[in-house]
């Protein structure tokens, strides 16, 4: 039995219909759920992840099957898998990840994929230019990836790049963009509040109120 079929059987066998309804409702009924709590879901493929990490080979065929599945837990599996295999991801893998970014789009998967792409920059700086390009994309979910790709980097944050990407997204009426701008600044304010304070003062006339509110939470 292949990995996908084995995992599918485990998910099916342990489905929680009552919780599935709640989870689907939380996601505006856009996706089907098995209703699996995160720890339980992860336990079903823990050994699978461990085995592939030992082999140091990313099974893209398996991931493609998972991402195409109609149940949302399979997209979460893909994100867990890629985080687990982060050290083996290269710039050449970005088109494969981009395919996931463009499918079944909602904030849960977008916010799971942003740092997976972003962290590749630590070994290949071409990601920086790509994120700048993505920050002008017609698809606001792609732009959100660019805005938040440096989350949790702390002192390793490339502030020059962060500023350019955010400035490229001023004037948007999209909630998920203005929230992302505020979120990226709020996160970095824990490391460098002065930089964020100066940024907000510099651009407050161009920033959405939501972005300012989020960015100013800790400063």
- Tens-digit pLDDT profile for residues 59-107: 999 999 999 999 999 999 999 999 999 999 999 999 999 999 999 999 9
Q: Band the pLDDT of 1: cuts 50, 70, 90.
A: confident
Q: How far apart are CA 103 and CA 155, in angstroms?
A: 33
% of the chain with per-residue pLDDT over 90: 100
Q: Could you state, in order of their start, the residue ranges of all structural domains in the chain?
A: 1-88, 104-219
In this model, does residue 121 exceed pLDDT 90?
yes
- 121's tokens: 């920059």
Mean pLDDT value across residues 41-56? 97
Quote the pLDDT of residue 181: 98
| CATH hierarchy code of domain 1-88 | 1.25.10.90
CA distance 152 to 173: 26
Q: Do 104-219 and 1-88 have the same topology in CATH?
A: yes
Q: How far apart are the first and last CA of the chain?
A: 54
Confirm or reject CATH 3.40.190.10 for domain 104-219, answering yes or no. no
Reported as a single tens digit per residue, the pLDDT across 129-151 is 999 999 999 999 999 999 999 99
């Amino acid at each position: 039995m292949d990995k996908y079929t084995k995992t599918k059987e485990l998910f099916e066998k342990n489905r929680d219909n009552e919780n599935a309804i709640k989870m689907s409702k939380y996601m505006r009924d856009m996706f089907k759920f098995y209703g699996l709590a995160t720890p339980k879901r992860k336990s079903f493929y823990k050994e699978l992840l461990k085995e592939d990490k030992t082999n140091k080979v990313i099974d893209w065929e398996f991931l493609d099957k998972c991402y195409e599945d109609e149940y949302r837990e399979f997209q979460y599996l893909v994100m867990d898998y890629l985080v687990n295999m982060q050290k083996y991801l290269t710039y050449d893998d970005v088109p494969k990840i981009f395919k996931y970014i463009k499918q079944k789009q909602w904030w849960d998967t977008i916010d799971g994929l942003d740092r997976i792409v972003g962290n590749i920059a630590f070994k290949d700086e071409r990601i920086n230019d790509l994120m700048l390009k993505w920050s002008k994309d017609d698809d606001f979910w792609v732009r959100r990836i660019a805005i938040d790709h440096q989350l949790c980097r702390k002192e390793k944050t490339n502030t020059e790049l962060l500023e350019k990407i955010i400035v490229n997204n001023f004037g948007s009426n999209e909630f998920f963009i203005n929230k992302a701008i505020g979120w990226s600044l709020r996160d970095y304010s824990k490391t460098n509040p002065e930089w964020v304070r100066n940024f907000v003062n510099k651009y407050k006339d161009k920033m959405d109120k939501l972005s300012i509110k989020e960015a100013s939470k800790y400063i």
